[in-house]
C-alpha cells in the first residue's frame, strides 16, 4: 500500500473529490480507520480532552502527545499522519516551532504537523515548510486561544469574514499543504475553498470544504453528554461498551463466565 501524501490531496481537490479526516490517539483506532480508507489521521491536541481528561487543550504537552503520535503512525500503512503541535510549543519563534516540528517527525514518526493561527503563525509555517516538513494550518475558531476568543464561538461572521479569508491566504502563501477551518460560516468556508489551491478541511464549516474532520470519540458516540452542533454521531460506542461491561459483570456474578471453554 502506498502512503497518502500531500500531492494526492491536492489532486483530489482538482478532481472535486471530498475526503474525511479523523483524529486518532492509539493503535487500534488508527489501524481500523486506516483499513476503513480514511486518508488522513490527526493526532490532535484534543487528546487533552479525549484521552487525558483535561478541561481544555491548553495543558497537554509535547511529551504527552509524542507517544500517541508514535502509536498511531506505527499502526498505519496508508494514512498520512499529522501531529498537532500543542499550546506553547511553537508560538515563541519560528525557531521554536521548527524545533518542535522536528521532534514530532523524529520521535513521533508522523508525516506532517499541524498548528493553529493564520497571519500570526505564517512565519512558523514558513520555517517548518522550508525544513521539508508539510504543515496543516488551522484557522477560524482555534481552541488554544479560547480565552482570547471568548469561548467556543463561530469566527468570521459579518465584517469579521475578511480577516478569516486573509488568514487563509496567509497560511497558503506561507506554504501550508492544507488548512482546517473550524466554526466558520458555510459561505465564508465556501469562498476560501474556492479561492485556495490547497484543500480546506472543515469542522463546523459547512459542506463546501474539500474535506471534513471530526474527533473520533464524537463521530463514534463514545463521548457522552451534549455535543457541539457540528458533531454527527455515526455509532453508539458509549452504549455498546456500557452494555458489554454490564454483561461481563453480570456473568461473573452469576457464574456464567468463565465457562468450560474458557478454562484450562
Ligand atoms: O485537535 C483536534 O482534534 C483538532 C481537529 C478537531 C481539527 O485540531
Ligand atoms: Na487541535
Mean pLDDT computed over every residue of the chain: 97
Q: Which of 20, 44, 183, 212 to mutate to test the pocket of ligand 1 (most atoms within 8 A of CB)?
A: 44
The more confident residue out of 225 and 107 is 107
What pLDDT, on a 0 to 100 scale, did the predictor assign at position 215? Answer: 98
Tell me the average pLDDT across 34-57. Answer: 98
Q: What is the mean pLDDT of residues 29-51?
A: 98
Question: Does residue 136 register a pLDDT over 80?
Answer: yes
Q: Ligand 2 centroid to 44 CA: how many Å?
A: 5
CATH superfamily of domain region 6-233: Phosphoenolpyruvate-binding domains (3.20.20.60)
What pLDDT is stored for residue 1 in this prediction? 73
Q: Residue 64 and residue 76: Cα distance in Å, rounded?
A: 20
Q: Which residues contact 209 (CB under 8 A, 6 or more apart)?
A: 18, 181, 189, 193, 200, 201, 202
pLDDT tens digit sequence for 54-106: 999 999 999 999 999 999 999 999 999 999 999 999 999 999 999 999 999 99
For residues 167 and 6, give the distance between their C-alpha atoms in angstroms, rounded to a whole number.
20
From 184, 213, 231, the mutation candidate for ligand 1 (largest count of ligand atoms within 8 A of CB) is: 213
Minimum-distance ligand to the CA of 180?
1
The predicted-structure confidence for 201-216, as pLDDT tens digits, reads as follows 999 999 999 999 999 9
- What proportion of the chain, given as a percentage, has pLDDT over 90? 99
Question: What is the H or E stretch that residue 203 is in?
Answer: strand 200-203
Q: How many CB atoms lie within 10 A of CB 154?
A: 17
Beta bridge partners of 19: 211
Q: Is the ipTM of this complex over 0.85?
A: yes
Domain ranges of the chain: 6-233, 236-264
- In contact, 201 and 212? CB cutoff 8 Å: yes
Determine the pLDDT at residue 101: 99
Please state, in angstroms and rounded to a whole number, the distance separating the CA atoms of residues 178 and 136: 5
Residues forming the annotated binding site for Mg(2+)? Answer: 45, 84, 116
Please give all residues whose beta carbon lies within 6 A of any atom in ligand 1, as ranges.
Answer: 23, 42, 44-46, 84, 138, 180, 203, 213, 215
Amino acid at each position: 500500500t502506498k502512503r497518502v501524501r500531500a500531492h494526492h490531496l491536492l489532486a483530489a481537490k482538482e478532481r472535486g473529490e471530498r475526503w474525511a479526516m479523523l483524529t486518532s490517539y492509539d493503535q487500534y483506532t488508527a489501524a481500523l480507520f486506516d483499513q476503513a480508507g480514511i486518508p488522513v489521521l490527526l493526532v490532535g491536541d484534543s487528546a487533552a480532552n479525549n484521552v487525558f481528561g483535561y478541561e481544555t487543550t491548553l495543558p497537554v504537552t509535547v511529551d504527552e502527545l509524542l507517544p500517541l503520535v508514535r502509536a498511531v503512525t506505527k499502526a498505519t500503512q496508508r494514512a498520512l499522519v499529522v501531529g498537532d503541535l500543542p499550546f506553547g510549543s511553537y508560538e515563541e519563534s519560528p525557531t521554536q516551532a521548527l524545533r518542535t516540528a522536528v521532534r514530532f517527525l523524529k520521535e513521533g514518526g508522523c508525516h506532517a504537523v499541524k498548528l493553529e493561527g493564520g497571519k500570526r503563525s505564517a512565519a512558523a509555517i514558513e520555517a517548518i515548510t522550508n525544513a521539508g516538513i508539510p504543515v496543516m494550518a488551522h484557522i477560524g475558531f482555534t481552541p488554544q486561544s479560547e480565552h482570547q476568543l471568548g469561548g467556543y464561538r463561530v469566527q468570521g461572521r459579518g465584517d469579521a469574514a475578511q480577516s478569516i479569508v486573509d488568514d487563509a491566504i496567509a497560511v497558503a502563501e506561507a506554504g501550508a499543504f492544507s488548512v482546517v477551518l473550524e466554526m466558520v460560516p458555510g459561505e465564508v468556508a465556501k469562498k476560501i475553498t474556492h479561492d485556495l489551491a490547497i484543500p480546506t478541511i472543515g469542522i463546523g464549516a459547512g459542506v463546501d470544504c474539500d474535506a471534513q474532520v471530526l474527533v473520533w470519540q464524537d463521530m463514534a458516540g463514545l463521548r457522552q453528554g451534549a455535543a457541539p452542533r457540528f458533531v454527527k454521531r455515526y455509532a453508539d460506542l458509549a452504549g455498546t461498551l456500557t452494555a458489554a461491561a454490564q454483561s461481563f459483570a453480570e456473568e461473573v456474578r452469576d457464574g456464567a463466565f468463565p465457562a468450560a471453554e474458557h478454562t484450562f
